[in-house]
A and B are shown apart, each in its own frame.
Chain A
Amino acid sequence: MTTVTAPVEVGHSRADFQTDQEVRWCPGCGDYTVLASVQNFLATVDRPREQFVFVSGIGCSSRFPYYVNTYGMHSIHGRAPAIATGISTTRPDLSVWVVTGDGDALSIGGNHLIHALRRNVNLKILLFNNQIYGLTKGQYSPTSEEGKRTKSSPVGSIDHPFNPVSLALGAEASFVARTLDMDRNHTTEILQAAYEHKGSAFIEIYQNCNVFNDKAFIQLTGKEERVHNRINLEHGKPVTFGPGDEKAVVLDGAEAKVVDTASVEPSRILVHDETRPNPAVAFSLSRLSHGPYGPTPLGIFRRVSRPTYEDQLEHQVAESIAKKGPGDLATLIRSQGTWTVGQNGHSNGANGSNGAR
Chain B
Amino acid sequence: MAQEATASGIATDPGPKTEAGNQTITLDRVVIRFAGDSGDGMQVAGARFTDASAAFGNDLATLPSFPAEIRAPAGTLPGVSSFQVQIADFDILTAGDAPDCLVAMNPAALQKNLADLRSGGTLIVNTEAFDERNLAKAGYEKNPLEDQSLAGYRVIEVPMESLTKEAVKDSGVSGRDVLRSKNFLALGLLAWLFSRPTEPTIEWAEAKFKNKPQVAAANVAAFKAGYNFGITTEATKVTFEVKAAQLPPGTYTNVTGNTSLAWGLIAAARAADLPLFYGTYPITPASDILHELSKHKNFGVKTFQAEDEIAAIGSVVGAAFAGNLAVTGSSGPGIALKSEGISLAFQTELPLIVVNVQRGGPSTGLPTKPEQSDLLSAIYGRHGESPLPVIAAASPSDAFLTAVEAARIALKYMTPVILLSDNHIANGSEPWLLPDLDKLPDISVPFATVSNTSNGFLPYLRDFDTFARPWAIPGTPGLEHRLGGLEKESNTGNVSYDPANHQLMTDSRAWKVANIANDIPGVEVARGDRDTDGDLLVLGWGSTYGTIRAAVRRCRLDGIPIDQAHLRHLNPFPANLGEVLARYERVLIPELNTGHLLRLIRAEYLVPATGLHKVAGVPFHISEIETKIHSMLGETRS
- Interface residues of A, Cβ cutoff 8 Å to B: 1-8, 19, 21, 48-53, 55, 58, 65-66, 69-76, 79, 81-91, 93-94, 111-112, 115, 313, 316-317, 319-321, 323-327, 329-330, 332-334, 336-343, 345-351, 353-357
Q: Is the CB of B296 within 8 A of A332?
A: yes
Name the CB-closest residue of B to A66: B482
A55 cross-chain contacts in B, Cβ below 8 A: 318
B310 cross-chain contacts in A, Cβ below 8 A: 79, 82, 112
B54 cross-chain contacts in A, Cβ below 8 A: 339
Q: Is the CB of B207 within 8 A of A353?
A: yes
Name the CB-closest residue of A to B204: A355
Known: A74-B483, A330-B437, A333-B253. A354 touches B200 (CB 8 A): yes
B477 cross-chain contacts in A, Cβ below 8 A: 5, 7-8, 48-50
| With A5-B451, A52-B474, A90-B319 already in contact, 15 other A-B pairs whose C-beta atoms are closer than 8 Å | A2-B454, A19-B482, A76-B341, A86-B314, A115-B307, A115-B311, A320-B298, A327-B298, A332-B263, A341-B249, A341-B252, A343-B249, A354-B203, A354-B204, A356-B207
A7 cross-chain contacts in B, Cβ below 8 A: 477-478
B484 cross-chain contacts in A, Cβ below 8 A: 65-66, 72-75
Name the CB-closest residue of A to B312: A82
Q: In residues 28-61 of chain B, which contact A (Cβ within 8 Å)?
A: 51-52, 54-57
Q: How far is the CA of A322 from the CA of B296 in the complex (A)?
A: 12
A-B contact pairs, 26 of them (CB 8 A): A5-B457, A7-B477, A49-B480, A52-B474, A53-B474, A71-B475, A74-B486, A76-B340, A76-B485, A79-B310, A85-B311, A86-B314, A86-B322, A87-B319, A87-B322, A89-B302, A90-B275, A90-B319, A316-B297, A321-B300, A327-B299, A329-B270, A334-B253, A336-B255, A339-B54, A354-B200
Q: Is the CB of A76 within 8 A of B344?
A: yes
Q: Which of A316, A339, A357 has the most CB of B within 10 A?
A: A339
Q: Whole-angstrom distance from the CB of B313 to the nearest CB of chain A?
A: 8
Q: Is the CB of A336 within 8 A of B322?
A: no
Known: A79-B310, A327-B299, A332-B266. A86 touches B255 (CB 8 A): no
Q: How far is the CA of A70 from the CA of B302 in the complex (A)?
A: 26
B454 cross-chain contacts in A, Cβ below 8 A: 2-3
Q: Is the CB of B298 within 8 A of A73?
A: no
Name the CB-closest residue of A to B350: A73
As a 0/1 sequence over residues 466 to 493 of chain B, the CB contacts with chain A under 8 angstroms (1 = contact) are 0000000011111111111110000000
Which residue from A52, A324, A347 sits with its C-beta under 8 Å from B57?
A347
Q: In residues 326-363 of chain B, which contact A (Cβ within 8 Å)?
A: 326, 340-341, 344, 348
Q: Is the CB of A82 within 8 A of B318?
A: yes
A346 cross-chain contacts in B, Cβ below 8 A: 57, 244, 246
Name the CB-closest residue of A to B56: A347
Known: A337-B51, A343-B249. A325 touches B298 (CB 8 A): yes
Q: Is B592 an interface residue (CB 8 A)?
A: no
Q: How far is the CA of A18 from the CA of B437 in the complex (A)?
A: 48
Q: Is the CB of A6 within 8 A of B478?
A: yes
Name the CB-closest residue of B to A319: B297
A357 cross-chain contacts in B, Cβ below 8 A: 204, 207-208
Q: Is B584 an interface residue (CB 8 A)?
A: no
Q: Is B251 an interface residue (CB 8 A)?
A: yes
A350 cross-chain contacts in B, Cβ below 8 A: 55, 200
Q: Is the CB of B319 within 8 A of A349?
A: no
Q: Is B499 an interface residue (CB 8 A)?
A: no
Q: Is the CB of B495 within 8 A of A69?
A: no
Q: Is the CB of B434 within 8 A of A75?
A: no
Q: Is B315 an interface residue (CB 8 A)?
A: yes
- Interface residues of B, Cβ cutoff 8 Å to A: 51-52, 54-57, 197, 200, 203-208, 244-255, 259, 263, 266-267, 270, 275, 277, 279, 296-302, 304, 306-308, 310-312, 314-324, 326, 340-341, 344, 348, 434, 437, 450-454, 456-457, 474-486, 494-495
Q: Whole-angstrom distance from the CB of A105 to the nearest CB of chain B?
A: 14
Name the CB-closest residue of B to A324: B298
Q: How far is the CA of A125 from the CA of B343 in the complex (A)?
A: 24
Q: Is the CB of B474 within 8 A of A79?
A: no
A82 cross-chain contacts in B, Cβ below 8 A: 306-307, 310-312, 314-315, 318
Q: Is the CB of B277 within 8 A of A336?
A: no
Q: Which of B51, B56, B476 has the most CB of A within 10 A?
A: B51
The interface residues of chain A, by DSSP majority, are classed as: mixed
Known: A71-B474, A317-B297. A89 touches B315 (CB 8 A): yes
A76 cross-chain contacts in B, Cβ below 8 A: 314, 340-341, 344, 485
A19 cross-chain contacts in B, Cβ below 8 A: 482
Q: Which of A48, A84, A332 has the most CB of B within 10 A?
A: A332
Name the CB-closest residue of A to B296: A327
Name the CB-closest residue of A to B438: A330
Q: Is the CB of A355 within 8 A of B252?
A: no
Name the CB-closest residue of B to A65: B482
Q: How far is the CA of A127 from the CA of B246 in the complex (A)?
A: 66
A53 cross-chain contacts in B, Cβ below 8 A: 321-322, 474
Which residue from B207, B266, B479 sits with its C-beta under 8 Å from A329?
B266
A338 cross-chain contacts in B, Cβ below 8 A: 251-253, 434
Name the CB-closest residue of B to A58: B485
Q: Is the CB of A86 within 8 A of B315?
A: yes
Which residue from A74, A88, A326, A330 sits with its C-beta under 8 Å from B298?
A326
Known: A82-B318, A329-B266, A337-B55. A93 touches B246 (CB 8 A): no
Name the CB-closest residue of A to B205: A355
Q: Which of A8, A330, A350 has the most CB of B within 10 A?
A: A350
A2 cross-chain contacts in B, Cβ below 8 A: 450, 454
Q: Which of A73, A93, A353 has the most CB of B within 10 A?
A: A73
Known: A73-B484, A90-B322, A317-B302. A336 touches B200 (CB 8 A): no
B248 cross-chain contacts in A, Cβ below 8 A: 341, 345
Q: Is the CB of A349 within 8 A of B249?
A: no
Q: Is the CB of A86 within 8 A of B485?
A: no
Q: How far is the CA of A333 from the CA of B433 in the complex (A)?
A: 10
Q: How far is the CA of A329 from the CA of B486 in the complex (A)?
A: 41
Q: How far is the CA of A131 from the CA of B249 in the complex (A)?
A: 70
Name the CB-closest residue of B to A7: B477
Q: Whole-angstrom distance from the CB of A266 to the nearest CB of chain B?
A: 45
Q: Is the CB of B246 within 8 A of A75?
A: no
Q: Whole-angstrom distance from the CB of A35 to the nearest CB of chain B?
A: 14
Q: A-B pairs with the 10 shortest C-beta distances?
A: A347-B57, A86-B318, A82-B314, A327-B299, A74-B484, A355-B204, A5-B478, A86-B315, A7-B477, A345-B246
Known: A76-B485, A115-B307, A346-B244. A91 touches B475 (CB 8 A): yes
Q: Is the CB of A355 within 8 A of B208?
A: yes
Which residue from A52, A71, A75, A90 sits with its C-beta under 8 Å from B277?
A90
Q: Whole-angstrom distance from the CB of A167 to the nearest CB of chain B?
A: 15
Name the CB-closest residue of A to B306: A82
Q: How far is the CA of A72 from the CA of B453 in the complex (A)?
A: 20
Name the CB-closest residue of A to B57: A347
Q: How far is the CA of A91 from the CA of B495 in the complex (A)?
A: 27
B296 cross-chain contacts in A, Cβ below 8 A: 320, 327, 332
Q: Is the CB of A321 within 8 A of B298?
A: yes
Q: How far is the CA of A1 from the CA of B461 in the complex (A)?
A: 11
Name the CB-closest residue of B to A340: B251
Q: Is the CB of A83 within 8 A of B314?
A: yes
Q: How far is the CA of A94 from the CA of B311 in the complex (A)?
A: 20
Q: How far is the CA of A21 from the CA of B319 in the complex (A)?
A: 26
B494 cross-chain contacts in A, Cβ below 8 A: 21
Q: How far is the CA of A19 from the CA of B299 in the complex (A)?
A: 39
Known: A349-B55, A354-B200. A111 touches B307 (CB 8 A): yes
B259 cross-chain contacts in A, Cβ below 8 A: 336
Which residue from A21, A79, A321, A356 sits with its C-beta under 8 Å from B314?
A79
Q: Whole-angstrom distance from the CB of B486 to the nearest CB of chain A?
A: 7
Q: Whole-angstrom distance from the CB of B248 to the nearest CB of chain A?
A: 7
Known: A5-B451, A330-B437, A349-B55. A86 touches B474 (CB 8 A): no
A317 cross-chain contacts in B, Cβ below 8 A: 297-298, 300, 302
Which residue from B200, B249, B450 sits with its C-beta under 8 Å from A342?
B249
Q: Is the CB of A73 within 8 A of B308?
A: no
